[in-house]
Structure formats: C-alpha cells, structure tokens
Amino acid sequence: MRTTSVGVFKVATKGPGDVSGLISLIGSGAIDPASILAILGKTEGNGGVNDFTREYAVAALCTALAPKLDLTPHEVEQRIAFVMSGGTEGVLSPHITVFTRQQVATPHAGIAGKRLSIGMAQTRDFLPEELGRSAQITETARAVKAAMADAGISDAADVHFVQIKCPLLTSERVEAAAARGAKTATISAYSSMAYSRGASALGVAVALGEVASDISDDVVLRRYDLFSKVASTSSGIELMHNVVIVLGNSEGSASEFEIGHAVMDDAIDAAAVMSALKSVGLGTTPKSGRELVNILAKAEASPDGTVRGSRHTMLEDTDISSTRHARAAVGGLIAGLAGTSAVYVSGGAEHQGPAGGGPVAVIAHLP
C-alpha cells in the first residue's frame, strides 16, 4: 500500500540569502512547511573551505522557516536536512530543491510501478582524526541503511542517489586533535574536504554492497577503483557528523515523481547523461507528459590528469581549484543535454563513480 508521497520543488534563488521563492510556495499552499524533509541547494560561493554562502543560505532558510514551523532557527536546522553545494561555475544557476514527504490518506488510483521515495539518517559526531578514515566509512554505511529503511527501500537497486553532507577539518580542529596526540588524515583544510567526501562515499558503497565491508583507511583517496555509483558527498564547515539522504523509488510511494541514474565514466560522458535521462522516460524522445525536474550529478578532475587520453590542467591550477573547473565543465555538458542550467552539479567526486567520472541522477515529473 502506498502510504507516503514525496514532492520535489525546484526554486530559483537571487542570492544565497534569498528565501522569497520558497516563502511564496508556502504562502500559496503549494508547500506545507511541516512536510519539508530536505533542501538541496546550489549557492554562489567557491565550494571551498571559505565558502560562506552555504552557511549563509542555511541560516537564511532556517530564519525564514522558523515562524512557519513554530520552531527556533536552530530547531529548524536540526529538523530539516540542508545540503548546500557551493559553486555555480560556468552556466550553473543558483537554486534550491525542496523535498517534502507526507503520509497519504487515500492514494491516487492507477499508480503503477515504483515512485520517488526519500529517507534520512545521520551519524554521530566524528572526531577530527576520524575524518577520511574507517570510522567515517563504517558509521556512514550504518546511516545509509537506516535512511533506506526510512525511505521504505529494501533493494539496493532501487537506490538512485545518496546525498551526504559531511564535515571538514579546520586549523582549529587539526590542532584540537594534535593536542590530544591524534594525527588527522591531513593538515590542510582544503585536502580534508576530499578525504571526508571520499570516506563518506565509500560508506555508501559498503552499505549498498558495491565494495567489501572490511575496507581499510588506506584505500581512501588511493584506490579509486573502489566507488559507489550513487553516492554524492559534499563537505562543509558547519557540522561534525554525516547527514545521509537516500533518494530512490519505492512501491510504497504515491509520489508524482520518479528517479533514475547512470554513471559518467569520465567528465565528458554525454552518453551517460542521456542514459540517465532515458531511465526516467526523458532524453531525445521523451515519454508523453514527462518533465524534467532536476539532475543531480557529481563532477571531478580525473586524478590521472587526462580526459579520454587528452591532458587536462585542472589539478595543476593554483588560481582555480579543480573542483570549480570540474563543476563548470560537467555543468556545461549536463545543462546542454538537459536544456536547462538550473541543475545540481556538485564537485569533488572521490569514490563517487569511477575516477574522473561520477553519478548522474535524474528526477522526472510524471503526468
């Protein structure tokens, strides 16, 4: 029996602090604020350590939603999962995607097949020295399974995108660890973002059976043949635990949406993007009435320094970080194939898809 319904709303923003679109949708009754489970956003920052647009966006959303939910801003932040991915390089357009979940009293008749479902869970807080290491992998795997259960999904094949928000190291955190005699995986804040994203993605891979469950610290950022096909991890300064959001399809959902995915083998894998579109009835000859809602993808500079045999310069650029380059390029490709630049392309795809590639998921609205 279909007991839940999941809604997806893509809302353009005019700046990281702009909440007017969401507030309008709440005002018009299109969104019941109490049903909001998660908000994924693309914000204008650099996506790096000093990207304050992420926390600014979250602060603005929490402040705006607080009176709607009769909570304090801090309580809103505890209740809703906010994942802000900084960096709208190239054509990428700042926006938020709001996911809602509600119980359905009387499901629509005539729903066939599995429909979009969403589940959430989180890990405990990590110590700085646990980031990028097996503790983060194991705890994340556990949270992924909990989120699948929350989404009413039992088959790993029905999981199409696992978004994780994970911590990073700052000078302060590195020193706090050092003061206890503990050595962090790296002393660089920027590098720690990669470690945290990588270990979190391996946690997804462990949970979904994509890799063996007994993997060690050593593989993080080294064994790029180990990866998840659906993990998307994003590190931010504002938390010390992992928040896991599972997106998939479920028989128990009465949603008007469906999700599918493919894996880009490299940063110019147009075929994979087309395949992901086709998996939900879109693509060159879309099924009648189906409409694209959003594309969720990860991008990275291939660590071997080449794309399909040609040298790239993303990893040797001291002016622009490689994550910015990768988002711009993959964003350009996906926007071109999707026909819209308001897509969610996030950087840093360590262990998320093969080296240099990444997962690409598509959410379609069904007629």
- Among all residues, which ones are annotated catalytic? 165, 234
Q: Identify which range of 7-15, 104-112, 117-125, 275-283 contacts a second copy by CB under 8 A.
A: 7-15
Which stretch, 22-30, 122-130, 151-159, 315-323, contacts a second copy (CB under 8 A)? 315-323
Question: Binding site membership: which residues?
Answer: 54, 85-86, 197, 234-235, 300, 327, 346-347, 349, 352-354, 357
Query: Distances in Å between the alpha carbon of 60 and those of 17, 132, 201, 206?
Result: 5, 30, 28, 35
Options 104, 268, 278, 365; binder of a second copy; rule CB under 8 A? 268
Spell out a b/e string for 133-170, using b for 16 or more CB atoms within 10 Å of the CB, else e: bbbbbbbbbbbbbbbbebbbbeeeebbbbbbbbbbbbe
Told to check if 337 binds a second copy by CB under 8 A, we report yes
Pick from 208, 206, 239: nearest CA to 135 = 206
CB of 208 or CB of 326, closer to a second copy: 326
Q: One symbol per residue from 33 to 72: x for binding a second copy (CB under 8 A), - otherwise; what is it?
A: -----------xxxxxxxxxx-xx--xx--x---------
C-beta atoms surrounding 221 within 10 Å: 18
The residues facing 348 across adjacent strands are none
Of 23 and 52, the one with the shorter C-beta distance to a second copy is 52
Taking the C-alpha atoms of residue 291 and residue 282, their distance in angstroms, rounded to an integer, is 7
Residue with tokens 């007994």: 214
Give the C-alpha distances (Å, rounded to integers) separating 343 from 101, 258, 337.
Answer: 22, 17, 11
Please list every residue from 126 through 165 that binds a second copy, using CB under 8 A: none
Among 321, 350, 352, 366, binds a second copy (CB under 8 A): 321
Q: Which stretch binds a second copy (CB under 8 A): 15-23, 111-119, 223-231, 246-254?
A: 15-23
CA distance 129 to 109: 52
Q: Decide whether 208 or 267 has the Cβ nearer to a second copy.
A: 267
How many whole angstroms separate alpha carbon 142 and alpha carbon 121?
A: 9
Residue 26: Cβ within 10 Å count: 18
Smallest gap, in angstroms, from Cβ of residue 285 to a second copy? 13
- Token look-up 């790296």 returns 186
Query: Out of 335, 360, 363, 364, which residue is the one contacting a second copy (CB under 8 A)?
Result: 335
DSSP string across 148-188: HHHHT---GGGEEEEEEEE----HHHHHHHHHTT---S-S-
Q: Is 291 in the site for a second copy (CB under 8 A)?
A: no
- Least distance to a second copy from the beta carbon of 209, Å? 29
How many C-beta neighbours within 10 Å does residue 240 have? 17
Shortest distance in whole angstroms from residue 15 CB to a second copy: 7
Residue 193 CB, shortest distance to a second copy, in Å, is 9
352 Cβ contact list (under 8 Å, min separation 6): 197, 201, 227, 228, 231, 232, 233, 298, 300, 358, 359
* Least Cβ distance, residue 311 to a second copy (angstroms): 5
Kindly state the smallest distance separating residue 163's Cβ from a second copy, in Å. 21
Strands (E), the chain: 4-12, 36-43, 81-86, 95-103, 115-125, 159-166, 231-235, 241-250, 257-264, 291-299, 306-307, 310-311, 344-347, 358-365
Nearer to a second copy, 7 or 348 (CB): 348
# binding residues, a second copy (CB under 8 A): 77
Residue ranges for the known binding site for Mg(2+) are 300, 349, 352-354, 357
Nearer to a second copy, 221 or 247 (CB): 221
> Residue 113 CB: number of other CB atoms within 10 A?
8
Q: Please choose, out of 127-135, 197-205, 240-248, 265-273, the segment that lies near a second copy by the rule CB under 8 A.
A: 265-273
> Using CB under 8 A as the criterion, what x/- string covers residues 182-221 for binding a second copy?
-----xxxxx-----------------------------x
Taking CB under 8 A as the criterion, the residue among 206, 211, 247, 267 binding a second copy is 267
Minimum distance from residue 10 beta carbon to a second copy (Å): 10
